[in-house]
Amino acid sequence: MSSIFDCGDEAQLLAGMRHARQAISRGELIVLPTDTVYGVGADAFSPAAVQRLLEAKGRGRNQPPPVLVGSKETLYALAETVPEPVQRLVEAFWPGGLTIVLPAQPSLVWDLGDTQGTVAVRMPEGRVALELLAETGPLAVSSANLTGMAAAVSAYDAEQMLGDSVAVYLADGMSRDGVASTIVDATPLVARTADAEPGRIRILRDGAVTRERLEEVLGDLLEPAPEPEAPTPRGGDS
């Protein structure tokens, strides 16, 4: 049976963090608050735990979860390389609502799903998440909802959807804004051959960090927004 802990109460916070750490070590799932929406998390280095996370959400291996980290430095251990423009993004927006996709470190022993050799990494803001990550290490974390349903903005929303598939729920009020993180793909910056020209960073999902803010940091290194499709004319010749 699942346990819910109110992190606004110091005694429950301490107990909840202890139970969450124990659950992660056993390969179980937890729900934790972040600065965007509530997330469901598992040990990133336990393939069985990651599979349990995907099954709880109703997702396949073709939708691998991002990885949350407790420090900026951890990015360098998870990514094969961190180009200078990505370093600028990290300094500007971490901790915060920006997820960055990079080539994964080949030496890592993990299985997040069909990642095509990449990893999506974010350092969240918020005391509970950061303290937990400092003790557990990187966690595979996806929004705490069933696939196709709205992301949970409270632990109780998450519990209604995920139920006993999650061992521990850490409740810390309502999410601040309920907007998921922005996801950017920085893999084009990493030239795969000696004569290849580096590409530009592209936005995969709009979210908490706006395109305008990204442009302030990246300038022309951010791929332009796609042109809006022309409306289909009604009647007449095609």
Rounded CA separation 205/9 (Å): 35
Q: Are strands 3-6 and 202-205 parallel, antiparallel or unpaired?
A: unpaired
d(CA 12, CA 27): 22
Q: First-to-last CA distance in the chain?
A: 60
Q: In terms of DSSP bridges, do strands 39-43 and 139-143 run parallel, antiparallel, or are they unpaired?
A: antiparallel
- Which residues face 194 on adjacent strands? none
Name the superfamily (CATH) of residues 3-221: DHBP synthase (3.90.870.10)
Assign 11 to helix, strand or coil. Answer: helix
* pLDDT for residue 77: 97
- What is the pLDDT at residue 196? 64
Reply yes or no: is the peptide bond before residue 95 cis, omega within 30 of 0.
yes
Share of the chain above pLDDT 90, in %: 87
pTM for the predicted model, two decimal places: 0.92
Intervals of the chain under pLDDT 70: 191-196, 229-238
Contact of 99 with 54, CB cutoff 8 Å: no
C-alpha to C-alpha distance for 88 and 108, rounded to whole angstroms: 25
Delimit the domains of the chain by residue range. Answer: 3-221
Q: What is the DSSP letter of 164?
A: G
The arrangement of strands across the sheet holding 182-185 comes to 3-6, 168-171, 30-32, 39-43, 139-143, 67-68, 118-122, 98-103, 182-185, 202-205
pLDDT of residue 238: 38
Q: What are phi and psi of 68, to 5 degrees?
A: -95, 140
Containing H/E element for 227?
A: none
The rounded distance, in Å, linking the Cα atoms of 101 and 118 is: 7
